[in-house]
């Protein structure tokens, strides 16, 4: 068995630097690097897999040691991969075109027609480009003699290119020295090339083609890979509900209008892509998509039906087909394979069942690999019967010993079976192989099975630059050519003007949740401060102000029971535990931890729209609160609150400074503004709108101003004699009406108005103007008199206006499509 680091007893020449690094780091150093990678993965929010709704995906796992492939080896592999892509492309074109390969019996018809990846509905559809296979991924292993051998082809909707890029960024940071001193081929160009390829594959349009990436949704196993790919491509990530068929073509529903789609990079399995012509129960695609591709008005890549190439039953025939259609001998070997639909092959397989790897032609039907030697006599008999009953559905392969690569474990370096996934992309009539790929190693020792489903560990793959200039020359040409891609003006959609209602909704709620987390944190810090000073001083004005503040906490957060209602006495006497809960308990709806988590969730649902900086901030916030929760009664609200605020402010900063003022930003900001306006209103109503003795009022006013981060301004104004004469009047003025205070309701309305003008939304702008007019008409001194009943009325009216404004924003911009139903008329002819 061969290893990727050592060849026999000697280190492979391409891995000498890596071996030296391993040597100098030592066991402890390697473990530290492993921990560093894990932290980076957590900070970047890189996940794989997800159980069900609500369950976050597992953290992506990356070994710090890269897999290193030297230039000469890679060149040979690249040639083989290029040939394989060209070959499979021709096979694909034939199977959905004239089907000569089947009619001339070069490939058995049953092997193809019996494969679930073959979609008869897609026969007769074609991409406008010469190449039909857009993206070809190949899983390879190295055999005992060091040659790369194909394990399987991935053509449905290949995943992993995004993970490969993510791995590169992780390892470049965590193995910085080695990364910098090694000449490594870069991956970024592959994604620039993919942009070109996506534009090229579009049906003829006058404008720059509109391209989207269709995802099954955030609960998809490879959601991160999809979102990251969309980011790298600068194209929107869309879901079924974002799309609609109109006039025989596909449109993106945006918050403003419908945008026609020219190219769809598909990450939804083909049979789930169209509930009209394919699986009627699917809600992941667009009904009519097959029709739209047949009309040639949209290009779907990989094309619907491309999964037929994943069929292992094609393998026994590929060498001959290659000679026929390419006039070339197949360069990359694959494990010897038999298709059981052939009588001779089946007899051979049945005679050696216990020595072969059984592979059903369809991955959908249970286990993709069954090792004959692991089966009991009874199981062997069962499989024999299955094969005899439906022979076309089975293939068998000679077992393939996989090479191993070392991984870092707590008990030192351990060898694990390795599988390399490569990617080839069609552009300009030829195939471009990503110079690198996704390395995956088994999690168990001695395992031949390497799949992400069972929790594989991944590796960055370093292809060394060649000392000869040939590919460097090419890389340079590419860089020039591809640089233009990056600089080229993007179509309107990528400037964020077009935003799917679902994404707009996520952004808006992300804004609301972050603001709610921030406002709640400030309020809790103030309440805790008051409680610490006054809890042991009953019957003082401070104690009354504390009680009022705590009660306001409950009214504003609406976490009940709290400091009002059942059990309030107890909690008011011992407020700290409840305050801690409101800060750190993620399962309490209304707590800071709850909103922080919600903010993270909504952000990750629109990951491709946001700066990657926010993930480390969100994960820091999460860590702060989780650590405090773990500490229990030991944790102090002041430092935890301060640390949380730091993260929340960093988040606002990233949003404020890191996003262009387009609709993405506008919806986040709108969420923040409406939330802040509502919180201020509710807080005032539950504090200053109730008349108390002046000395209590004074302390409470200060608390409210602190919670609204306006205390300094207030003091300066009072000192300068500006604004209303009473402290209460001044505070209410500052928090409601003062358009220059970023913490006033009036200011929120101004900003909201600007946000909606970006979206754009004229109708709601009127509604906002009415609120502003209502505020302008207020005479502060007047409403603060007479037991403040007018103030109460004002705040109630304001709260209602704000709520109906929020409802209108949702109803106008986050419209979901009506539910989808399928129908089918049966035939019921009676007996004559």
Tokens 């986050």 identify what position? 814
Window 809-828: contact mask with another protein (x via CB under 8 A): --------xxxxxxxxxxxx
Under the binding rule (CB under 8 A), the answer on residue 277 touching another protein is yes
The binder of another protein chosen from 276, 413, 626, 772 (CB under 8 A) = 276
> Could you tell me the CA-to-CA distances from 725 to 442, 693, 716, 730, 780 in Å, in that order?
73, 17, 13, 7, 10
Window 190-229: contact mask with another protein (x via CB under 8 A): ----------------------------------------
Selected range binding another protein among 16-24, 275-283, 404-412, 587-595, rule: CB under 8 A:
275-283
The binder of another protein chosen from 7, 20, 103, 351 (CB under 8 A) = 103
What are the structure tokens assigned to 464, written together?
Answer: 């060394």
Which residue, among 366, 425, 422, has the nearest Cα to 394 in the 3D structure?
366
Nearer to another protein, 276 or 413 (CB): 276
Give me the least distance between CB of 102 and another protein, in Å please.
5
| Kind and range of the H or E run holding 439 | strand 438-441
Nearer to another protein, 366 or 830 (CB): 830
Nearer to another protein, 244 or 494 (CB): 244
Please, which residues have CB within 8 angstroms of residue 502's CB and are 6 or more apart in sequence? 239, 241, 242, 814, 816
Nearer to another protein, 611 or 820 (CB): 820
Nearer to another protein, 587 or 827 (CB): 827
Nearer to another protein, 125 or 231 (CB): 125
For every residue of 390-426, DSSP letters joined together read SGGGEEEE---PPPEEEEEETTEEEEEEEEEEEEEEE
| CA gap 627, 583 in Å, rounded | 12
Burial label, 467 (beta-carbon count in 10 A; 0-12, 13-18, 19+): exposed
Number of other CB atoms surrounding residue 487 within 10 Å = 7
Selected range binding another protein among 187-195, 270-278, 590-598, 659-667, rule: CB under 8 A:
270-278
Nearer to another protein, 122 or 141 (CB): 122
Nearer to another protein, 149 or 345 (CB): 345
Nearer to another protein, 46 or 387 (CB): 387
Which 240-269 residues touch another protein, going by CB under 8 A?
Answer: 244-248
Nearer to another protein, 163 or 339 (CB): 339
| CA gap 198, 233 in Å, rounded | 9
Nearer to another protein, 60 or 392 (CB): 392
Give me the least distance between CB of 321 and another protein, in Å please.
15
The binder of another protein chosen from 155, 159, 215, 275 (CB under 8 A) = 275
CB 805 within 8 A of CB 675: no
Nearer to another protein, 244 or 601 (CB): 244
Selected range binding another protein among 177-185, 239-247, 601-609, 679-687, rule: CB under 8 A:
239-247
What are the structure tokens assigned to 214, written together?
Answer: 């269709």
> Could you tell me the CA-to-CA distances from 282 to 267, 277, 279, 392, 548 in Å, in that order?
14, 11, 6, 27, 54
Selected range binding another protein among 126-134, 161-169, 288-296, 503-511, rule: CB under 8 A:
288-296
Give me the least distance between CB of 123 and another protein, in Å please.
4
Dmax of the chain from CA atoms? 101
Sign of CA dihedral 211, 283, 424, 123: negative
CB 137 within 8 A of CB 153: yes
Give me the least distance between CB of 500 and another protein, in Å please.
17
What are the structure tokens assigned to 36, written together?
Answer: 């560093």
| CA gap 504, 740 in Å, rounded | 28
Which 388-447 residues touch another protein, going by CB under 8 A?
Answer: 389-390, 392
Give me the least distance between CB of 831 and another protein, in Å please.
4
Nearer to another protein, 48 or 392 (CB): 392
> Could you tell me the CA-to-CA distances from 177 to 158, 218, 336 in Å, in that order?
32, 35, 42
Burial label, 292 (beta-carbon count in 10 A; 0-12, 13-18, 19+): buried
Which 106-135 residues touch another protein, going by CB under 8 A?
Answer: 108-110, 113-114, 120-121, 123-124
CB 485 within 8 A of CB 427: no
Selected range binding another protein among 317-325, 386-394, 481-489, 689-697, rule: CB under 8 A:
386-394
The binder of another protein chosen from 294, 472, 495, 715 (CB under 8 A) = 294
Give me the least distance between CB of 601 and another protein, in Å please.
27
Under the binding rule (CB under 8 A), the answer on residue 366 touching another protein is no
Beta bridge partner(s), residue 264: 212, 300
Give me the least distance between CB of 576 and another protein, in Å please.
50
Under the binding rule (CB under 8 A), the answer on residue 284 touching another protein is no
| Kind and range of the H or E run holding 246 | strand 243-246
CB 227 within 8 A of CB 237: yes
| CA gap 57, 778 in Å, rounded | 51
Nearer to another protein, 290 or 704 (CB): 290
- The helix/strand/coil state of 544 is helix
What is the binding site for another protein (CB under 8 A)? 99, 102-103, 105, 108-110, 113-114, 120-121, 123-124, 244-248, 275-277, 280, 287-288, 291, 294-295, 389-390, 392, 817-832
């Amino acid at each position: 068995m061969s290893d990727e680091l050592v060849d026999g007893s000697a280190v492979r020449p391409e891995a000498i630097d890596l071996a030296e690094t391993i040597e100098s780091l030592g066991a402890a150093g390697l473990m530290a690097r492993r921990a560093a990678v894990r932290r980076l993965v957590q900070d970047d929010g890189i996940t794989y897999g997800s159980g069900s709704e609500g369950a976050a995906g597992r953290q992506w796992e990356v070994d710090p040691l890269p897999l290193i492939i030297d230039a000469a080896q890679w060149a040979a592999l690249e040639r083989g991969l290029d040939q394989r892509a060209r070959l499979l492309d021709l096979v694909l074109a034939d199977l959905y075109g004239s089907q000569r390969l089947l009619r001339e019996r070069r490939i058995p018809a049953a092997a193809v027609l019996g494969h679930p990846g073959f979609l008869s509905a897609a026969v007769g559809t074609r991409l406008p480009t010469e190449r039909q296979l857009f993206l070809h991924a190949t899983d390879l292993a190295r055999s005992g003699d060091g040659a790369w051998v194909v394990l399987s082809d991935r053509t449905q909707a290949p995943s992993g290119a995004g993970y490969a890029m993510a791995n590169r960024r992780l390892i470049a940071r965590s193995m910085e020295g080695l990364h910098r001193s090694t000449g490594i081929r870069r991956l970024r160009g592959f994604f620039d090339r993919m942009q070109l390829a996506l534009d090229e594959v579009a049906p003829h349009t006058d404008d720059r083609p509109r391209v989207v990436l269709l995802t099954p949704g955030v609960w998809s196993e490879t959601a991160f890979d999809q979102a990251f790919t969309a980011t790298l491509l600068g194209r929107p990530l869309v879901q079924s509900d974002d799309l609609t068929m109109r006039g025989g073509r596909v449109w993106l529903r945006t918050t403003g209008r419908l945008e026609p789609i020219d190219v769809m990079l598909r990450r939804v399995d083909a049979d789930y892509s169209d509930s009209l012509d394919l699986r009627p129960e699917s809600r992941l695609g667009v009904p009519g998509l097959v029709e739209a591709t047949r009309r040639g008005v949209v290009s779907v890549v990989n094309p619907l039906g491309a999964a037929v190439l994943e069929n292992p039953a094609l393998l026994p025939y590929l060498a001959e087909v290659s000679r026929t259609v390419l006039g070339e001998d197949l360069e990359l070997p694959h494990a010897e394979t038999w298709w059981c639909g052939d009588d001779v092959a089946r007899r051979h397989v049945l005679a050696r069942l216990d020595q072969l790897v059984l592979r059903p032609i369809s991955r959908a039907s249970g286990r993709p690999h069954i090792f004959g030697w692991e089966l009991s006599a009874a199981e062997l008999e069962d499989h024999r019967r299955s094969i005899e009953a439906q022979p076309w559905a089975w293939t068998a392969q000679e077992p393939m010993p996989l090479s191993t690569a070392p991984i870092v474990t707590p008990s030192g370096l351990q060898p694990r079976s390795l599988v390399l996934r490569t990617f080839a992309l069609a552009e300009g009539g030829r195939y471009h192989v990503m110079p690198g790929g996704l390395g995956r190693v088994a999690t168990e020792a001695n395992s031949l099975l390497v799949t992400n489903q069972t929790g594989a560990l991944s590796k960055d793959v370093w292809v060394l630059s060649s000392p000869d200039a040939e590919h460097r020359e090419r890389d340079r040409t590419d860089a020039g050519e591809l640089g233009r891609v990056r600089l080229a003006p993007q179509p309107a959609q990528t400037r964020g003007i077009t935003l799917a209602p679902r994404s707009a909704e996520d952004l808006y709620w992300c804004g609301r949740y972050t603001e709610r987390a921030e406002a709640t944190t400030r309020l809790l810090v103030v309440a805790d401060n008051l409680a610490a000073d006054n809890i042991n001083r009953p019957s003082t004005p401070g104690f009354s102000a504390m009680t009022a503040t705590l009660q306001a906490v409950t009214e504003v957060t609406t976490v009940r029971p709290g400091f009002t209602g059942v059990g309030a006495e107890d909690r008011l006497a011992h407020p700290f535990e409840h305050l801690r809960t409101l800060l750190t308990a993620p399962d309490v709806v209304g707590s800071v931890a709850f909103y922080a988590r919600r903010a993270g969730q909504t952000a990750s649902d629109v990951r491709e729209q946001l700066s990657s900086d926010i993930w480390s901030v969100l994960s820091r916030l999460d860590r702060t609160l989780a650590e405090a929760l773990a500490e229990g009664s030991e944790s102090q609200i002041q430092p935890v609150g301060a640390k949380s605020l730091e993260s929340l402010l960093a988040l606002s900063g990233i949003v404020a400074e890191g996003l262009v003022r387009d609709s993405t930003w506008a919806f986040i900001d709108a969420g923040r503004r409406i939330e802040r306006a509502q919180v201020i209103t509710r807080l005032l109503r539950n504090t200053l709108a109730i008349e108390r003795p002046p000395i209590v009022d004074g302390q409470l006013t200060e608390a409210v101003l602190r919670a609204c981060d306006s205390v300094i301004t207030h003091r300066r104004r009072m000192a300068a004699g500006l604004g209303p004469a009473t402290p209460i009047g001044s505070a209410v003025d500052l928090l409601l009406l003062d358009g220059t205070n970023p913490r006033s309701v009036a200011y929120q309305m101004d900003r909201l108005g600007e946000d909606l003008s970006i979206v754009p939304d004229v109708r709601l702008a009127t509604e906002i103007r009415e609120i502003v007019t209502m505020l302008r008409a207020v005479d502060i001194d007047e409403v603060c008199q007479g037991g403040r009943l007018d103030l109460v009325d004002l705040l109630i009216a304001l709260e209602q206006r704000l709520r109906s404004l929020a409802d209108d924003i949702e109803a106008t911009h986050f419209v979901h499509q009506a539910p989808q139903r399928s129908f089918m008329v049966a035939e019921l002819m009676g007996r004559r």
